Amino acid sequence: MPDDGQSALDREQEYVSTLYHQLDSMRKYAATRLSKVLLETGGTPQARSERESFSQLYTDDLAKYDAAENGLCFGRIDMSDDELRYVGRLGILDEANDYETLLLDWRAPMARPFYLATTAMPDGVIRRRHIRSRSRRVTAVNDEYLDLDAAQEAGRTEDSGGVGTESALLAALNAARTGHMNDIVETIQSEQDAIIRSDHKSVLVVQGGPGTGKTAVALHRAAYLLYTYRQQLAKSGVLIIGPNATFLDYIGQVLPSLGETGVLLSTIGDLYPGVRATREDSLRAAELKGSLTMVDVLKNAVRDRQLVPDETITLRFESYEVSLDRKTVTRARGRARSSRRPHNLARPIFVSSVIDSLTDQIATTIGSNVVGGSNLLSRDDIADIRDEMRSDAEVMATIGGLWPELSPQEVLVDLLASDVRLSTAAQQFAADDRAALLTSERRGFTPADAPLLDELAELLGVDDAEERERNQRQWRAQIADAQGALDILTGSAPQDLEDELDPEILMAYDLIDASQLAQRQNSGVRLTTAERAAGDRTWTYGHVIIDEAQELSEMAWRMVMRRIPNRWITVVGDVAQTGDPAGTTSWQRILEPYVARRWKLAELTVNYRTPAEIMGIAQDVLSAIDPAATVPRSVRDSGVPPWAHSVDAAALEPIVRDYVAAETGPGQTAVIVPKELSATFADLASDSVSVLTVREAKGLEFDVVFIVEPAQVLDESPRGRNDLYVALTRATQRLGVVHSRPLPTELAGLVDSDRNDAASGRSIAAGN
Ligand SMILES: Nc1ncnc2c1ncn2[C@@H]1O[C@H](COP(=O)(O)OP(=O)(O)OP(=O)(O)O)[C@@H](O)[C@H]1O
């Protein structure tokens, strides 16, 4: 299609309008179908369940169309064979025109050259065009020639017509932040694309410095995998783990904006069903709780609940006395333990063994043959005694107390609230450490408790024999009902059909049997995969993505690995940013127990967030952490050097307030403070200002960042330098440091600011 006199902008507007027209028709079709399905009532169980599937399908379609409304089409590639490919947020086919592709989903293989083609390797692309739009109006087009000669030959070098000179990437990077992360489908870079579309089916570790797009890549990978392996992943689901609730909120809109809603986002603290982390541990307690030693501590804690009485217990059973002595209980305990079943599942073995011993005692008393010879009671008599004993509340309560049925919550709470329990179960820890674990609080859990509860759930097991029996009874009844429904259908089949015509006409009962029908009715309780997964501790996901993975403790890794036995995991993080003392500084060390060396490393090397001036300072801090490490290369500079302002202790607070008040432009400001000062500045928070500790700021970004009292940030944690590194790398435009204590030597490169009035502070902050 050679270009005519029309400007590129006008032509793209015309094309994009056609696409929106198609989108509107698709939306209208889905909306009409949906309302029709919703209006239908009654019918067979099969018809009902089909209706539900359709209503879900149309609802999902509508959500997908809404998500694609903004920036529906953002690019085009002109191929050397004259083919034009438009790339956008979803695929659109022209039904009226032999299903010709009008728009390619960005995840489709045919769209890939849009992201990968370079002048060195054009991959058949002669021109790449970025199309920018606001609402449905095309505002700019931006061309890149990958093969200029071929483009000229094909008449594809027209003036793109009123385009901003800034590339699509720089425009995205320089835009003021909104407080929520945006998707990057329009400008995915080739090293990122390779990770997003990696077909590696085991653990893929994405290591990259701050701002290299790890989070963005992780989210786009989730969308890509759901698109490519839809069948497989729709049922099992995808789990994304992030460091804290603020972070999940920050990234929460990205997947819906890509039309994907079936992903579960969770922190480690909230991954154990039914428990929300509401308290915080001291750094030391979190470190201890995260260490592998806890596996043994918890084992001990469970064993300590399997009791042997100090003295013989005498029990009354009907008119007899029986005694429960240490030997009997020890033997029963030995049997139950050697079954190697989890505590609650081994419990029936313990109880049976004790009951057998007590039954023997009674049988010996009442059945003894005074003239010698064998016991006078028959096997049936003895079985009766055993059954009666099992229904004796007092006997059962006493036996049960020695090997109680336990929940993870009660074992953990009891352990952490008791000096005595800790000193027997956690002998591996020094007395100081045990004291750090001890808490008087019996309500609420901390994030580090969730992996412990999960571990305990494994050690305890759930005795669900009764529930299973109940479910099976219910299932059998459901099948019987379904069979009834099918029988009615069979009975009401037209009787006047000629026999030989029958095979031509398929009836419901030809297609489905009772168990399939019952299954469909079962799935009538419409929970999304993500909702079902969230409520089920033993759910295994199809894929798991862990962001800020360096923060996970060894215990947290165990919990996550239980949820992904196929080990298809994307691990995303930066071992130089580890702030949690229980976190990791080596991917190999943490992954070895699960996949040995079978994991693949992918690295991201370009920083899209932080300007070069700020990364210069971050480099000094990183060198102090690891002299061999280098920060990722920044794609842009801001022209504003980061600064430090030294003030008297008394002036610290008012000056910080002045700086923040002077930030009146668009975008987001963060005040990153040592934990101890959070309360002092908390009231500064507003829609455009966040007051955060480093831990809370992890993974986030802001146009302007003020760091308050960095020396204290350093002091507050054994990983203080890593924290400082994280704090420094949050800004997309400007950074200032306000301090009353001496500036840490790592920050000596900051430009000194001795001006201390708010107005001049602003002029420095704005770089004037
Ligand atoms: N290809 C891209 N196009 C546009 N923006 C991008 C691109 N890659 C990354 N960005 C932007 O760069 C910023 C940093 O990305 P992201 O938060 O994913 O980095 P990160 O590696 O997770 O950082 P950190 O380790 O500090 O948490 C985000 O605003 C992201 O949208």
Regarding the beta carbon of 573 and ligand 1, being less than 6 Å apart is answered: no
Ligand 1 touching residue 188 (CB < 6 A): yes
Q: Is residue 205 within 8 Å of residue 552, measured between CB atoms? A: no
Cα–Cα distance measured from residue 125 to residue 443, given in angstroms and rounded to the nearest whole number? 62
**Tens-place pLDDT, residues 195-205:** 999 999 999 99
- Which residue shows structure tokens 């002998």? 427
Asked if residues 629 and 618 have their Cβ atoms less than 8 Å apart, the reply is no
* Mean local confidence (pLDDT), 570-579: 90
For residue 10, what pLDDT is reported?
93
**Cross-strand pairs, 351:** none
- Residue 242, ligand 1, Cβ within 6 A: no
Query: Buried b / exposed e across 276-301, counting CB within 10 Å, b at 16+?
Result: ebeeebebebbbbbbbebbbebbebb
Q: Which residue has the higher pLDDT, 754 or 57?
A: 57
Radius of gyration of the chain (CA): 33
pLDDT, tens digit (0-9, with 9 covering 90-100), for 61-93:
898 999 999 999 999 999 999 899 999 999 999
For 436, the 3-state DSSP assignment is: helix
At residue 174 the predicted structure's pLDDT band, cuts being 50, 70 and 90, is: confident
Please state, in angstroms and rounded to a whole number, the distance separating the CA atoms of residues 582 and 291: 7
Does the beta carbon of 215 sit less than 6 angstroms from any atom of ligand 1? yes
- Cα gap 589→578, rounded to integer Å: 14
- For residue 489, pLDDT beyond 70: no
* Beta carbon of 210 within 6 Å of any ligand 1 atom: yes
Residue 377 beta carbon below 6 angstroms from any ligand 1 atom: no
| pLDDT of 423 over the 80 cut | yes
Tell me the CA–centroid distance for residue 173 and ligand 1, in Å. 9
Which tens digits make up the pLDDT trace of 599-654?
A: 999 999 999 999 999 999 999 999 999 998 888 999 989 889 999 999 999 999 99
What value does the mean pLDDT of the chain take? Answer: 87
Confidence of residue 522 (pLDDT cuts 50, 70, 90): low
Indicate whether this complex's ipTM tops 0.90.
Answer: yes
> Is residue 162 a known part of a binding site?
no
pLDDT band of 518, cuts 50, 70, 90:
low
pLDDT at residue 408 in the model: 96
Answer with the residue of higher pLDDT: 492 or 370: 370
Name the residue with the closest Cα to ligand 1, atom 14: 211
Q: 58: buried, middle or exposed (CB in 10 Å: 19+, 13-18, 0-12)? A: buried
Q: Is the beta carbon of 421 within 6 A of some atom in ligand 1?
A: no
Reported pTM: 0.84
Say whether 588 sits in a helix, a strand or coil.
Answer: helix
Q: Tokens 């030597």, residue?
A: 745
CA 695, CA 210: separation in Å to the nearest integer?
14
Dist. CA 34 → ligand 1 center (Å): 38
Ligand 1, atom nearest to 729 Cα: 26
Q: Comparing 5 with 588, which gets the higher pLDDT? A: 588
**Is 209 marked as binding a ligand?**
yes
Q: Could you tell me which of 723, 751, 726, 720 has the C-alpha nearest to residue 737? A: 751
The dihedrals phi and psi of 513, each to the nearest 5 degrees, come to: -105, 175
Q: 215 among the known binding-site residues? A: yes
Mean pLDDT of 117-127: 88
Atom of ligand 1 nearest to the CA of 186: 3
Using a pLDDT cut of 90, give the percent of the chain over it: 63
In terms of DSSP H, where are the helices of 320-407?
326-338, 343-367, 379-390, 393-402
Mutate which of 142, 551, 608 for ligand 1 pocket (most atoms within 8 A of beta carbon): 608
Nearest CA to ligand 1 atom 24: 210
Residue 43 labelled as part of a binding site? no
Cα–Cα separations (whole angstroms), residue 327 to 105, 356, 357, 768: 71, 13, 10, 85
Question: Quick check: 693 and 597 in contact, CB under 8 A?
Answer: no
Token pair listed for 60: 């999902």
Least confident range from 305-314, 398-407, 602-611, 629-638: namely 629-638
Residue 768's pLDDT band, with cuts at 50, 70 and 90, is very low
φ and ψ at 137, to 5 degrees? -100, 130
- Give 360-390 pLDDT, tens digit per residue: 988 888 877 666 667 667 888 889 999 999 9
Residue nearest atom 3 of ligand 1, based on CA coordinates: 187
The per-residue pLDDT for 464 is 65
Q: Is 210 annotated as a binding residue?
A: yes
Query: What is the spatial distance between Cα 102 and Cα 84, in angstroms, rounded to a whole number?
Result: 10
214 known ligand binder: yes
Which of 214, 550, 603 gets mutated to test ligand 1 (max ligand atoms within 8 A of its CB)? Answer: 214
Sheet containing 73-79: which strands, arranged edge to edge?
A: 92-94, 100-105, 84-88, 73-79, 125-134, 137-145
Structure tokens at 586: 């080596």
The candidate with the shortest Cα–Cα distance to 247, out of 560, 579, 533, is 579
For ligand 1, say whether the CB of 703 is within 6 Å of any of its atoms.
no
Cβ contact 666:733 at 8 Å:
no
- Where do we find the tokens 């070069």? 612
Please report which confidence band the pLDDT of residue 514 belongs to, taking 50, 70 and 90 as the band edges.
low
Burial of 480 (0-12, 13-18, 19+ CB in 10 A): exposed
- Binned at pLDDT 50, 70 and 90, residue 351 comes out as very high
Find out whether 269 is annotated in a ligand binding site. no
Atom 30 of ligand 1, residue of closest alpha carbon = 213
Per-residue pLDDT at 534 = 87
Q: Which distant-in-sequence residues (6+ apart) come within 8 Å of 529 by Cβ? A: 234, 235, 236, 237, 262
- Four-residue CA torsion sign, 524, 528, 532, 538: positive
Determine whether the shortest distance from the Cβ of 211 to ligand 1 is under 6 A: yes
Alpha-carbon torsion 628, 634, 635, 637, what sign? Answer: negative
Q: Is the CB of 447 under 6 A from ligand 1?
A: no
Q: Compute the CA torsion angle 340, 344, 348, 353 (nearest 10 deg).
A: 60
* Ligand 1 atom having least distance to the Cα of 573: 25
| DSSP sequence for 596-620 | TT-EEEEEE-EESSS-HHHHHHHHH
Per the CB < 8 A criterion, the answer to whether 251 and 226 are in contact is no
